C-alpha cells in the first residue's frame, strides 16, 4: 500500500518557497534604502517645525487601472489626482515647514479586485513606505481600506464613495484617520431632494434602486426624508445590476402615476431606464438619476431628452467663478468635457486642496498632526470659501450643492437656498420626439 512520494519534488517546492520568500525581503530592504524613513510614523513628531529631509512627497494608491471600476480611474478620480499633482508641482510643490516638496504619485493596479487592492495598499504603506496614500475606488473598497489605513496610522480621505454605514464605525472612534469627503445620502442629498420636491409641490414618488450598497442605502434614506416632506412613496423596486429590460417596471410605475421617479442605480441601468421611459412615452413630473446622471456624456447621449432630468450631485459652472475656472482647466486637461462629473469632480479637487493646506498648516508630514489640523481647521477650496470637516465628514455647508438638474445641456444646482444656480424646472417638459441616431461621445 506504500506509494513512493516524490520527495525530491517536495524539497524543490519548499526551496522555491524559501527563495520566493527571501526575494521580496531583499527587494524590501533595497526599498528601505531608497525611500528613507520619513514616512507616516512618529519619528519626526518632536521636531514639527523642522523641514523634512526628503525632497519629494510620494503618495501611493492602489487604483482600478483595469477591471470593472477602471471607468472611474480613467475618467473621474484619475484625472482629478493627476491634474492636482500637475498644479502642485507647477507651483513648486507643497510647502512643508518652509521646504517646497514636489509630489509624486505611485499607482498600482488593483484590477478592481478588493483582495488585490488591500494587499497593494498594505505594500504601499509597509514596504514602499509612501508618505501618504490615496483611497481606492468604490464604497466597498473604501470600507475595507479605512480599516487597513487606520491600522497603519495613515490618513485616508475618501471622495470616491461612501455610505452611511461607515459613519457608525466612525462614531465608535475606530477610524480617527478616516475623512469622508463625498456627500452622504442622509446628511446631504436626500434632505435636499425632499426640500426641492416639497417646494415644487410633489406629492408622490416611485423609487427604483439597484440591489447594491448605493441603491439600498439611498432608497432607505429617500423613504425617511421624502415621507418627512409629505411625499408618499408609492412604489419601491429593487433591480439587479444585469437587468436587460425595464419596461414592465416602468409600466407598473406608470399605472400608479407618481409625480417623481428616482433611479438609484449606475449608468448602465440609468441609460436603460431613460430609454425605456422615452420609448413608453412615460413622462413623470420629475426624474432623478443616481451616479452617472451627473456626467456630461449622459446628457450628450440623450440630448434634449435630458432637459429637466435631475441628478445626485451637484455643482455647476454657474456655482462660482472658481468652479467655472476649474471646469475649464479640467476639460482642457482631459481633452473633453464628456467625462466631467457634476457630482464628484469638484469634491475631489476640494478635498485635495484642503489636504494640501492642512499639510502646509501642520508644517510636517506627520500623519497625526495633519489629521488633527484636518479635524479642526477651515480652509477655502474651489468648492466653498469655508470648507471644513465635522466629525470626520465634510460639513454640509462646504458643498456647492446636492441635487442638480440638466437645463439646456448645462448642469445646474437646484437646491433650495443660496447654492441654487437656476430655478428647478417642474414639471419637466415632455420627452422630445425621438430622433434618429445621436452619437454619445
Q: Which is nearer to another protein, 9 or 46 (CB)?
A: 9
Instruction: Give the residue from 397, 315, 314, 352 showing the smallest Cα distance to 157.
Output: 352
CB atoms closer than 10 angstroms to residue 210: 24
Question: CA angle, 140 as apex, 134 and 143 as ends, to 5°?
Answer: 60
- Minimum Å gap between C-beta 126 and another protein is 3
Render 139-207 in DSSP notation, one character per residue: HHHHHHHHHHHHHTT--EEE-S---THHHHHHHTT--TTEEE-SPPIIIIIHHHHHHHHHHHT--EEEE
- The CA distance from 258 to 267, in Å, is 23
Backbone angles phi, psi at 108, to 5 degrees: -110, 155
Q: Which is nearer to another protein, 62 or 358 (CB)?
A: 62
Q: Which is nearer to another protein, 24 or 385 (CB)?
A: 24
- Minimum Å gap between C-beta 123 and another protein is 5
Q: Which is nearer to another protein, 247 or 283 (CB)?
A: 247
Q: What is the 3-state secondary structure (H, E, C) of 43-63?
A: CCHHHCCCCCCCCCEEEEEEE
Instruction: Give the residue from 181, 179, 183, 182 showing the smallest Cα distance to 374.
Output: 179
- The CA distance from 308 to 52, in Å, is 52
Q: Which residues pair with 394 in a beta bridge?
A: 389
- Minimum Å gap between C-beta 189 and another protein is 18
- Minimum Å gap between C-beta 193 and another protein is 20
- The CA distance from 74 to 338, in Å, is 12
- Minimum Å gap between C-beta 175 and another protein is 9
Q: Which is nearer to another protein, 68 or 91 (CB)?
A: 68
- The CA distance from 346 to 315, in Å, is 7
Q: Which is nearer to another protein, 134 or 354 (CB)?
A: 134
- Minimum Å gap between C-beta 10 and another protein is 5
Q: Which is nearer to another protein, 14 or 86 (CB)?
A: 14
Alpha carbon 352 to chain centroid, angstroms? 13
Q: Which is nearer to another protein, 318 or 337 (CB)?
A: 337
- Minimum Å gap between C-beta 158 and another protein is 13
- Minimum Å gap between C-beta 380 and another protein is 33
Cell output for 79: 484625472
Computed from CA positions of residues 382, 384, 387, 392, in that sequence, does the dihedral angle turn out positive or negative? negative
- Minimum Å gap between C-beta 201 and another protein is 29
Q: Which is nearer to another protein, 132 or 178 (CB)?
A: 178
Amino acid at each position: 500500500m506504500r506509494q513512493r512520494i516524490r520527495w525530491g519534488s517536495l524539497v524543490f517546492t519548499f526551496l522555491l518557497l524559501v527563495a520566493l520568500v527571501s526575494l521580496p525581503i531583499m527587494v524590501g530592504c533595497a526599498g528601505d534604502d531608497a525611500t528613507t524613513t520619513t514616512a507616516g510614523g512618529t519619528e519626526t513628531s518632536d521636531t514639527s517645525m523642522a523641514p523634512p529631509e526628503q525632497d519629494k512627497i510620494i503618495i501611493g494608491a492602489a487604483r482600478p487601472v483595469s477591471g470593472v471600476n477602471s471607468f472611474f480611474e480613467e475618467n473621474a478620480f484619475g484625472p482629478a489626482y493627476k491634474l492636482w499633482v500637475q498644479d502642485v508641482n507647477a507651483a513648486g510643490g507643497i510647502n512643508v515647514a518652509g521646504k517646497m516638496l514636489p509630489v509624486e504619485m505611485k499607482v498600482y493596479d488593483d484590477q478592481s479586485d478588493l483582495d488585490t487592492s488591500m494587499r497593494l495598499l498594505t505594500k504601499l504603506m509597509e514596504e514602499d513606505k509612501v508618505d501618504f496614500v490615496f483611497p481606492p475606488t468604490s464604497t466597498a473598497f473604501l470600507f475595507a481600506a479605512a480599516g487597513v489605513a487606520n491600522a497603519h496610522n495613515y490618513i485616508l480621505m475618501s471622495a470616491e464613495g461612501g455610505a452611511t454605514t461607515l459613519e457608525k464605525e466612525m462614531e465608535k472612534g475606530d477610524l480617527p484617520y478616516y475623512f469622508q469627503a463625498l456627500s452622504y445620502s442622509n446628511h446631504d442629498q436626500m434632505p435636499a431632494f425632499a426640500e426641492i420636491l416639497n417646494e415644487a409641490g410633489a406629492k408622490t414618488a416611485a423609487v427604483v434602486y439597484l440591489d447594491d450598497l448605493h441603491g439600498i442605502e439611498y432608497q432607505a434614506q429617500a423613504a425617511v426624508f421624502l415621507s418627512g416632506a409629505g411625499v408618499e412613496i408609492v412604489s419601491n423596486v429593487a433591480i439587479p445590476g444585469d437587468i436587460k429590460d425595464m419596461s414592465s417596471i416602468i409600466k407598473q410605475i406608470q399605472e400608479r402615476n407618481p409625480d417623481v421617479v428616482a433611479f438609484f442605480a449606475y449608468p448602465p441601468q440609468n441609460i436603460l431606464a431613460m430609454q425605456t421611459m422615452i420609448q413608453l412615452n412615460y413622462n413623470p413630473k420629475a426624474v432623478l438619476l443616481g451616479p452617472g446622471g451627473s456626467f456630461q456624456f449622459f446628457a450628450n447621449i440623450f440630448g434634449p431628452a435630458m432637459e429637466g432630468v435631475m441628478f445626485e450631485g451637484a455643482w455647476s459652472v454657474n456655482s462660482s467663478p472658481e468652479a467655472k475656472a476649474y471646469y475649464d482647466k479640467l476639460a482642457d486637461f482631459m481633452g473633453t468635457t464628456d467625462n466631467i462629473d457634476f457630482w464628484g469632480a469638484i469634491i475631489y479637487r476640494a478635498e485635495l486642496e484642503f489636504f494640501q493646506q492642512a499639510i502646509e498648516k501642520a508644517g510636517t508630514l506627520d500623519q497625526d498632526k495633519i489629521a488633527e489640523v484636518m479635524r479642526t481647521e477651515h480652509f477655502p477650496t474651489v468648492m466653498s470659501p469655508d470648507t471644513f470637516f465635522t466629525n470626520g465628514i465634510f460639513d454640509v455647508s462646504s458643498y456647492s450643492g446636492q441635487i442638480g438638474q440638466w437645463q439646456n445641456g448645462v448642469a445646474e444646482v437646484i437646491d433650495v437656498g443660496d447654492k441654487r444656480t437656476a430655478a428647478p424646472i417642474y414639471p419637466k417638459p415632455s420627452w422630445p420626439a425621438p430622433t434618429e441616431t445621436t452619437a454619445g461621445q
